[in-house]
Copies of this chain bind each other. A is one copy, B any other.
Amino acid sequence: MIKGIMPPIATPFINDEIAFDKLGENISKWNKTNLSGYVVFGSNGESVFLTRNEKLKLIEFVQKNKSEDKKLIAGTGSDSIKETISLSNDGAKLGADAALILTPSFYKSQMKHEAFLKYFSAVADNISIPLIIYNVPKFTGVSIEPETVAKLSEHQNIIGIKNSDENIAHLTEIIHLTPPNFLTIVGTASILFAGLSAGAAGGILALANIAANECVQIMEYINQGKLEEAKKLQMNLISVNKAVTSKYGVPGLKAAMDLLGYFGGEPRSPLAPLNLSQKEDLISILKKSKLLN
């Protein structure tokens, strides 16, 4: 089962090539936490800038370097059903435990109920590992409706959804309409408390790259019924989360990693690293939240 908190891990580059040694160092730090697993080449892994071969190498590398108790999920989806199946199965052979599959999105006006049913059913029928739907409207410009997710949750190889939307009503409705064992996963740390309170199974959170323990702690507090403590921790992380997602994106996340003892480095072009004044703003946000002294 895939539950708990996972980071969609940032892909480190040096001179524009994947820096596997740095990735290994990051992983060894994360291995010591209670993260339940890792997502490779999600949106925060700069998936769209990676070649197919680089993606497979990442799966192989993380599989070898992660501690045994951690799960490994790979972001193998694209608009092409054929390529999605092929990459997912190749990833499975190298050790991926599940495939996180982005909604198709190029032909936006046609990506509705029927198209999503066809797409996800076709993929789920043909891949050897469980499928998790990935809904992220801010990047794709489309959104999958709760009714569609409900229908797809009947497929035995579709085990969950990562919903990267701050709309808690959307998330709650998905939880309400799907079976108890279907995994509804919070996709952004700003709604972790709210999502878990509503019954979500866990979180795949950019923030978990830099604040793994804090994210896990929120979940543990909730499981222990310590809601006030959970809420307080959540409140404290809101502005940090904004800084490494909507405000500064992947470059912000990587800069924060560099500041907090991980290797972040530069994003691949055309993304640009933070400039000086952005970095100062980030430092001040990290200090205010006590993540940085």
Minimum C-beta distance from A290 to chain B (A): 15
Tell me if A176 and B80 are in contact (CB < 8 A). no
Contact of A194 among B79, B198, B251, B272 (CB under 8 A): B198
Tell me the A residues contacting B by CB distance below 8 Å.
43, 48-51, 78-83, 104, 106-111, 114-116, 118-119, 122, 138-139, 141, 166-170, 172-173, 175-176, 188, 190-191, 193-194, 197-199, 227, 231, 234-235, 238-239, 242, 246, 249-251, 268-272
| A118 lies within 8 A of B270 (CB) | yes
Starting from the known contacts A48-B80, A108-B141, 12 additional A-B residue pairs (CB-CB under 8 Å) come to A48-B104, A48-B106, A107-B139, A107-B250, A109-B138, A109-B246, A167-B167, A168-B194, A169-B188, A173-B239, A197-B197, A199-B231
A83 and B190 in contact (CB under 8 A), knowing A115-B271, A166-B168, A172-B235?
no
Determine whether the beta carbon of B272 is less than 8 Å from that of A114: yes
Number of copies: 4
The 29 sampled A-B contact pairs (Cβ below 8 Å) are: A43-B106, A48-B79, A48-B80, A48-B104, A48-B106, A49-B79, A49-B81, A51-B83, A81-B268, A107-B271, A108-B139, A108-B141, A110-B249, A115-B270, A115-B271, A118-B270, A119-B270, A122-B270, A141-B141, A168-B168, A168-B194, A169-B191, A172-B191, A172-B238, A176-B235, A176-B238, A197-B197, A198-B231, A227-B227
